[in-house]
Amino acid sequence: MIIYREENEIIREALKNINLPKNVYIFDTTLRDGEQTPGVSLTVDEKVEIAVKLDELGVDVIEAGFPISSLGEREAIKKICSLNLNAEICGLARARKEDIDAAIDCGVDRIHTFIATSPLHRKYKLKMDKEEIIERAIEAIEYIKEHGIKVEFSAEDATRTELNYLKEVYKKAIEAGADIINVPDTVGVMIPRAMNYLIKYLNDLDVTISVHCHNDFGLAVANSLAAVEAGAKQIHCTINGLGERGGNAALEEVVMSLHCIYGIKTNIKTEKLYEVSKLVAKYTEINVQPNKAIVGENAFAHESGIHAHGVLAHALTYEPIPPELVGQKRKIILGKHTGTHAIKAKLKELGYNNLTEEQFKEIVKRIKSLGDKGKRITDRDVEAIVEDVLGRV
Ligand code: KIV
Ligand code: ZN
């Protein structure tokens, strides 16, 4: 596998004075924030099956759900906890006793408790002042710690909160016993430089820093990586980037960027990414767009003659990641852009090895003319063309 930080001069120079961690923890919230995708509702069995697959994939933490939200949710989380998976199981709770009790009742290893801190949320949602919010956070964290459970604390809408106040909230949370502090970019307004600045600003707090980035501007993955450059050690993400509105940082993109670009390790077995993506798409009924990085159907597909020729000569020309590394396969797609190299490779793959030059030219002509009609050309189409040219039909 190529690591761009080592092989690419531009990236190497850009990162040379940055103190990067060796490992980053992957906190998967597909079953909580991912399930908050409009229209998605998983059954207990589906949640359990996805949790098992996430565990096999190697995520460090599975946020299995929001226990207070329904009886079915609690049943699913309890079942997931009873499986004794390798991953830590986490439940979400507002900074309220009844939410926390529901999470404790499920038997989770970690409780992710949160309260909003931004002026907007303080005024219009919580109708609480700054001090009341700190008190509520402290009470919640102390209550969880009394039960001997690990606490991850989030200041919801952290990225629209006054810097000084945000740091004070996190300081108090740590004093109360929070083991991890999570920084949510709740409505995805950060840019990488600002996220990097914020995490550096918080970095002197003596605790593991995590980030939770939403994708409203399409920057969730970039912001998560910028946070790692600044010292964050855990990233919240979801399979296929599922989540509220534009979604959350996509696990597959975060992980492959960490591994292949930065050379930072996670515990993810990347060869399983495609399989898990397909399972999540099936149960959530949210299709993955074809041009989605890593797990999309076109992520390793080549149609243009120039690209197909390139990858057939040397994979790295147009494949920055080997498809097998993420459980995918290279696809050479035939169409009007296809060149002769790709058609030759496809014919060989279909077992047509002894064609004359004239037959081959005729096949190329017919494939291109079919492509010109706006058709996506399947293997079946190619076989029909060849058989016709060979006079067998
Ligand atoms: O986006 C968000 O702020 C959240 C919180 C519950 C952490 O999902
Ligand atoms: Zn969120």
**What pLDDT shows up at residue 392?**
86
Ligand 1 touching residue 185 (CB < 6 A): no
What ligand 1 atom has the least distance to the C-alpha of 154? 7
Q: Which bound ligand lies closest to the C-alpha atom of 158? A: 1
Per the DSSP assignment, residues forming a β-bridge with 92 are 112
Check pLDDT > 90 for residue 304. no
**Quick one: what percent of the chain has pLDDT higher than 90?**
92
Residue having the nearest C-alpha atom to atom 5 of ligand 1:
156
Query: What confidence category does residue 303 fall into, taking pLDDT thresholds of 50, 70 and 90?
Result: confident
Ligand nearest to the CA of 238: 2
Q: How far apart are the first and last CA of the chain?
A: 46
pLDDT at site 385: 96
User: Ligand 1 atom closest to Cα of 214?
Assistant: 1
Cβ–Cβ under 8 Å, residues 187 and 214: yes
CB atoms within 10 A of CB 27: 26
Identify which of 131, 137, 72, 135 has the alpha carbon closest to the alpha carbon of residue 102.
72
Max Cα–Cα distance, the chain, nearest Å: 84
Beta strands 301-302; 234-237: pairing state: unpaired
Nearest CA to ligand 1 atom 2: 186
Candidate of 32, 154, 161, 214 to mutate for ligand 1, largest count of ligand atoms within 8 Å of Cβ:
154
CB of 154 sitting under 6 A from ligand 1: yes
Confidence of residue 236 (pLDDT cuts 50, 70, 90): very high
Tell which atom from ligand 1 comes closest to the C-alpha of 36: 8
Instruction: Report how far residue 75's alpha carbon sits from residue 17's, in angstroms, rounded to the nearest whole number.
Output: 49
How far, in Å, from the CA of 331 to the mean position of ligand 1? 38
- Which pLDDT does position 213 carry in this prediction? 98
Q: Which ipTM value was assigned to this complex?
A: 0.99
**Backbone φ, ψ for residue 374 (5° rounding):** 85, 15
Q: Which residues lie closer than 8 Å to 144 by C-beta, 6 or more apart?
A: 93, 100, 104, 111, 113, 151, 177
Exposed (0-12), middle (13-18) or buried (19+): which is 193, by Cβ within 10 Å? exposed
Q: Indicate whether 78 pLDDT > 80.
A: yes
What pLDDT does 256 receive?
Answer: 98
Instruction: Name the strand (E) or helix (H) holding 59.
Output: none
Please, are residues 24 and 238 in contact by the beta-carbon 8 Å criterion? no
User: Residue 263 — φ and ψ, nearest 5°?
Assistant: 70, 30
Burial class (CB in 10 A: 0-12, 13-18, 19+), 119: middle
Residue 80 has pLDDT above 80, yes or no: yes
| pLDDT of amino acid 208 | 98
Which amino acid is it at 380?
Answer: R
In the reported structure, the alpha carbon of residue 242 is separated from the centroid of ligand 1 by a whole-number distance in angstroms of: 13
H helical segments located in the chain:
4-7, 9-15, 44-57, 71-82, 97-106, 119-120, 130-146, 163-176, 192-202, 220-230, 251-256, 273-284, 305-313, 340-349, 357-372, 379-389
How remote is the CA of residue 118 from the centroid of ligand 1, in Å?
A: 13
Position 113 scores a pLDDT of 99
Return the pLDDT at 305: 83
User: For 22, phi and psi rounded to 5 degrees?
Assistant: -80, -35
Work out the mean pLDDT of the chain and round it to a whole number. 96
What per-residue confidence (pLDDT) applies to 81? Answer: 98
Question: What six digits make up the tokens of 24?
Answer: 């980053």
pTM above 0.90, yes or no: yes
- What is the pLDDT at residue 308? 84
Residue 393 pLDDT > 80, yes or no?
Answer: no
Give Cα separations from 197 to 23, 185, 191 (angstroms): 21, 13, 10
pLDDT for 376 equals 80
Output the CA 382–ligand 2 centroid distance in Å. Answer: 47
pLDDT on residue 327? 98
Return the percent helix, strand and coil in the chain, to nearest 5.
50, 15, 35
The CA 195 to ligand 1 mean position distance, Å, reads 16
